[in-house]
Structure 1
Amino acid sequence: MSTHHAPAQAAGSPAIEVHGLDTSNRLLLDQITDKWSVLILTALCKQPLRFNEIKRCLDGITQKALTQSLRRLERSGILARRVIPSSQVAVEYSITPLGRTLEGPFTALFLWTITHSSDVLQAQAAFDQRPI
């Protein structure tokens, strides 16, 4: 016998049917919540940055991973790329108005992480001490 449970939701929040997400929505969700995309977008919410400035902000990202993430986000209209004419060609990335709409959710996610990281570490330690 199977029972159907209503999706959990915060007070005042619309119910989200995870199984109802179509392929394009899942792909977009994957794109914007990818580990590098979240960090790139958070950095660009502060100010436009050049490629190497973004790379320096993100410990551990490879040039290839950064390039791929920036292209995906630009293709989706979340970032804008601007070539700066100078003696050496430079490229600057900035967040678009569409991308700026992610600032609130990402700020909330970062604040949650900072607020609850010790709780998560305690839960992980308790889990790891359980007998198998």
Structure 2
Amino acid sequence: MTDIQVRQAHTGDERFIHSSWFQSYWKATASKSVPREIYKSEQDNLIDRLIRGSRIVVAFLEEVPDEILGYSISTPEVCHWVYVKGVYRRRGIASQLMPHSLKYFSHWPDSSGRKFFEKFGLQFNPYTIHTQRMS
């Protein structure tokens, strides 16, 4: 695989980011505790709000700049979500997408996600989603 690049997300990236966050969080943990109807309306709104107020960086291959390999959604102290497509996992992409100033993660991940966040010394704090300022 060639060099992986990182850039700020473009407006055209938001559809993929929203959809993959919605689906991956549902599969990872939400489906175990939240009825689908509630999840759909509430998580859609939450994702839209957090995307507007966060820094989003995406990973891509230099030869194919429009294909997103993964992304992170964060504020200076909080990682709201980090995602890498299945075929590109375990290659260090998620680590490249993580800002160094982070202290917390706001969405409860699956067990591999928890290990990932622990590696960075982050603590789970779901309340950060309520205090984030929107731009």
TM-score, length of structure 2 as denominator length = 0.30
**Higher-Rg member (1/2):** 1
**Structure with bigger RCO (C-alpha 8 Å, 6+ apart):** 2
Higher helix share: 1
Higher strand share: 2
